[in-house]
Structure 1
């Protein structure tokens, strides 16, 4: 069922609709090397084949893992005979340095047009020398309706599909196969084929596929998550941003994905940093409570670990938010990098050694606890920085409003 031309490609209109760059390149028969990346089963290799089939340029299917340098040398010889060759390279991110070095001059000259397919983000996984010579196109997961369209096409196609069978499939079964595939057409087609081949004919020769059979052949939604892959970091990013944005439902969705991936370590790290980065002084106990929940989860292990994690996520989502403390540190550090390390005031320098008094160390220092207020007006910043302000309190919680009041009184008391 792999498309033979771009007209047969389902979905990916952002790449192949009229007027889009890839469509224009194909219509003009002026292809340049490109990399197609996206989740499994979304049609990367199919699009590559359709692109090649829509041009008059000969093409060759290769795999970066399976094919060695000698195979690539043979491809270059073929290219020289035909003046140009499209090389469709599956798992292009797995090209080692030797293969890359061999291909580079041929990509540069245009003798080889590389159409790479990968599930990995090319900006992370592909060598810059290859990437800089390629257009990057992202292939997105198909919708349920688009997967359903592919299934119907396969059922009716006598030449490449299952049209030779007398198939009767219920609408519920068709929807289940399309929806449970999670945007992976390959998974849906495999399940359909399994359903057809494993279901006995009726007396009239009809193969009836109902929802129960469909459920058996594709037992659960395909879970698109690899905790070692690039998409994992997208989920972690969405997880923290959902907590920061106070969206409990979204945060629990992404937590579920991370739990299914089994990555307790990343969940724990992200919860703790979120508690301090995004909740911060608005609710200072959020940090210790998040740490306690993570430690409880680590002791329990999955599946019970999900319970304290859920508690922590809901609390962090609905807590007031403030990033004022670490932003204050960032401002102080920026000032340090810009202005260097001015002299520490003499009255603050260490005076606990012989001769310190002679050097004026500690002279004039006022001990705050000697004052009934527990505070005295005194300069602590170096002279060159004495008027700097790094901390700007937020108004998101009673706690930080109280801190703001104290902070402003101290600054006024010091005559700033």
Structure 2
């Protein structure tokens, strides 16, 4: 059976791992574990193709422990029992458990005692955020290590190694790889070494030798053969929420170019509903009274986008993002509400003043409901001095105006005048 190049090029030892120097470099945590032969169970989390399986196999190769691979979603408890029996006989087994976030309670309960006694060294692999997706019982018994996307330099190093390796690589093939083709392999795969290696192998195997007996790989050939990984993300994955967060923080920070970049990633992922919802949140949470008209325009843009659908929806969405990004920012209104809510949660409520209570029923006046209430519209200024807050909160101040936009500056001025009159 043919094994893909990415499988064949998996590192045999820690020193052969490409990238991840923060984990396997000299003096770093996994390197120290291997050198001291003091391995502990761990969870490796990060994007696909970044070396989680490679790290696990390299740890096993560097320690000479038995190495087994299972999938938490598809393999059964019986498969785990077989690994456990092997561990009893051999002493220690390193178990790479892919999609560890999908480990159900039955399998988890079986694994836990074996992790406790050290017979099984679990290396869980996942693309999900372990702090959100991994069961606390497993998480508390493992160390969590983030595996980061490989750099272009990392991928180029691995590709050059594969081209020279005569044992398991492509070193026996007369490959001539153009510089632009190599550059495309390192960039277009977005840090996914597996995609880069398998794309290279497809190009080599499917390209005929030229008159000089060489397999000449041009940019056009690599573009054709590379199974290009989407530069976006899984809409259900952890990275999706990172992009949403980055979009809001970029708009909040008034960086138009970064905001449009993250919008483009969400548009490319086709997630119209999330974009529309998030822009509405941003309009009221981050811009707020700094530019209320921008919030109204965002509602209109979202409505238009929902009616248009993609690809045209990107047009009103881009308008909204630029508008929100360059608008004055103010979170004063919802911060004021949160401050009021905090008082309520602490029991600071108090009785409603009698003159504010409902008096639209027979006998209300006998209970002093609504008596001595002054109607603000009767005043030429639009307000009349009277108490509105309960007695115990009479001096409470929740709203602190921001002076970032002309609209709230005007509100702040009126707020100041009213407070002066009422004090």
TM-score band w.r.t. shorter chain:
over 0.9
Partner-residue secondary structure (3-state), 2:401: coil
Q: Which of 71, 76, 79 is residue 79 of structure 2 equivalent to?
A: 71
- Are 1:279 and 1:322, in contact at CA under 8 Å, matched by a contact in 2? yes
Distance 2:46 2:67 in 1: 22
Q: Distance in 1 between matches of 2:230 and 2:14?
A: 26
Equivalent position SS for 2:292: coil
> Which residue is 2:5 aligned to?
none
* Alpha-carbon distance in structure 1 between the residues aligned to 2:253 and 2:242: 16
Report the equivalent of 1:207: 215
The answer to whether 1:319 aligns with 2:357 is no
Q: 2: distance between equivalents of 1:91 and 1:264? A: 28
Q: 1:54 aligns with which of 57, 62, 71?
A: 62
Give the corresponding residue for 2:139: 131
1:379 and 2:379 correspond: no
Partner residue of 1:112 out of 120, 128, 131: 120
2:232–2:268 CA contact under 8 A, matched in 1 = no
Q: How many residues align?
A: 415
When normalised by structure 1's length, the TM-score is 0.98
Q: Aligned residue for 1:176?
A: 184
Is the counterpart of residue 307 in structure 1 residue 319 in structure 2?
no
| Secondary structure of 1:358's aligned partner | helix
Q: Secondary structure at the match of 1:87?
A: strand
- 1:202-281 equivalences in 2 (<5 Å): 202-218=210-226, 220=228, 222-281=230-289
TM-score under structure 2 length normalisation: 0.96
What is the alpha-carbon distance in structure 2 between the residues aligned to residue 99 and residue 158 of structure 1?
A: 41
Distance in 2 between residues matched to 1:171 and 1:98, nearest whole Å: 52
Change (3 A) 1:219 1:60: closer
1:408 correspondence with 2:401: no
Query: Equivalent residue for 1:9?
Result: 17
C-alpha distance in 2, partners of 1:395/1:232? 34
Q: Which residue of 1 aligns with 2:156?
A: 148
Comparing 127-136 and 59-68, the one that deviates more: 59-68
Report the CA distance between 1:224 and its aligned residue.
4.2
CA deviation profile, 1:221-277 (whole Å, cap 9, x unmatched): 642401111111110000000000000100100001101111101000100010000
Could you list the per-position Cα deviations for residues 2-50 of structure 1 after superposition, in whole angstroms to 9, with x for gaps in the alignment? 0000100011011111121121111101000001110010010011100
The equivalent of 2:39 in structure 1 is 31
Equivalent of residue 396 in structure 1, options 379, 386, 404? 404
Residue 160 (structure 1) aligned with residue 160 (structure 2)? no
1:330 aligns with 2:338: yes
Counterpart Cα distance in 1 of 2:406 and 2:140: 52
For 1:54, what is the secondary structure of its paired residue? helix
Once residues 208 and 160 of structure 1 are traced to their aligned partners in structure 2, the CA distance between those partners, rounded to angstroms, is 21
Q: Distance in 2 between matches of 1:83 and 1:191?
A: 40
Tell me how far apart the structure 2 counterparts of residues 111 and 284 of structure 1 sit (CA, whole Å): 62
Using the TM superposition, name which of 266-275 and 196-205 deviates more.
196-205
* Structure 1 stretches of 4+ moved >6 Å: none
Q: Shift of the alpha carbon at 1:67?
A: 2.0
Moved more, 164-173 or 316-325: 164-173
Which secondary structure state, in structure 2, belongs to the residue aligned with residue 155 of structure 1?
helix
